[in-house]
Homo-oligomer: A and B are copies of this chain.
Amino acid sequence: MENNVKLKMTLPDIPDIELVAVEGLDKMARHLGISDEKIGEARILVTEAIINAIEHSGKEKMEVDVEFTMTKEKLVIFVRDYGQGFKPESVEEPDILKKMGTENKRGWGLKIMKSMSDDFLIESNENGTKITLIKNLV
């Protein structure tokens, strides 16, 4: 592909490591002249995908693989962990009204990723989880 920029990282499980990926995203986006609005949304997607992967990464292989492929038109975000996986279809859709009065206020990552991306795919089994997010940049 013309003007296809690719960044790959394998991230350790340490605090705020997702910001390294965000910095990479920013550099790629600036190079390709992507609008601030689209970059902002891409930042949120990247952040949510990585914090989930880090949180649920495997005890043996605690690292997380991240891959961005960006053109002027489109960003593909790929994040994979080596954790125990999950069944996305069993995750309950969060609702702010229900969250009020209950202890656990969390559970928004998947909803945000689904809402803010243009395409969204989760492949998960007992060897880990792969998430692919597509974001149109124009």
Point out residues on A near B: beta carbons under 8 Å: 5-12, 14-17, 19-20, 23-24, 27-28, 30-31, 63
Chain multiplicity (copies) = 2
- Given A19-B23, A20-B27, A27-B16, do A8 and B10 touch, yes or no (CB 8 Å)? yes
Contacts of A15 in B (CB 8 A): 27, 30-31
Closest to A7 in B: B12
Indicate if the CB atoms of B12 and A20 lie closer than 8 Å.
Answer: no
* 7 residue pairs A–B, Cβ–Cβ below 8 Å: A6-B10, A8-B9, A9-B9, A14-B27, A14-B31, A15-B31, A19-B27
Q: A11 to B11, alpha carbons, bound, how many Å?
A: 14
Q: Which of A16, A23, A28, A63 has the most CB of B within 10 A?
A: A23
Give which listed residue, B6, B10, B23, contacts A7 with CB less than 8 A: B10
Closest to A17 in B: B27
Contacts of A5 in B (CB 8 A): 12, 14
What is the distance, in angstroms, from A22's C-beta to the closest C-beta of chain B? 9
Q: A23 to B26, alpha carbons, bound, how many Å?
A: 12
Q: A124 to B43, alpha carbons, bound, how many Å?
A: 37
What is the distance, in angstroms, from A68's C-beta to the closest C-beta of chain B? 9
Contacts of A11 in B (CB 8 A): 7
Q: A110 to B16, alpha carbons, bound, how many Å?
A: 32
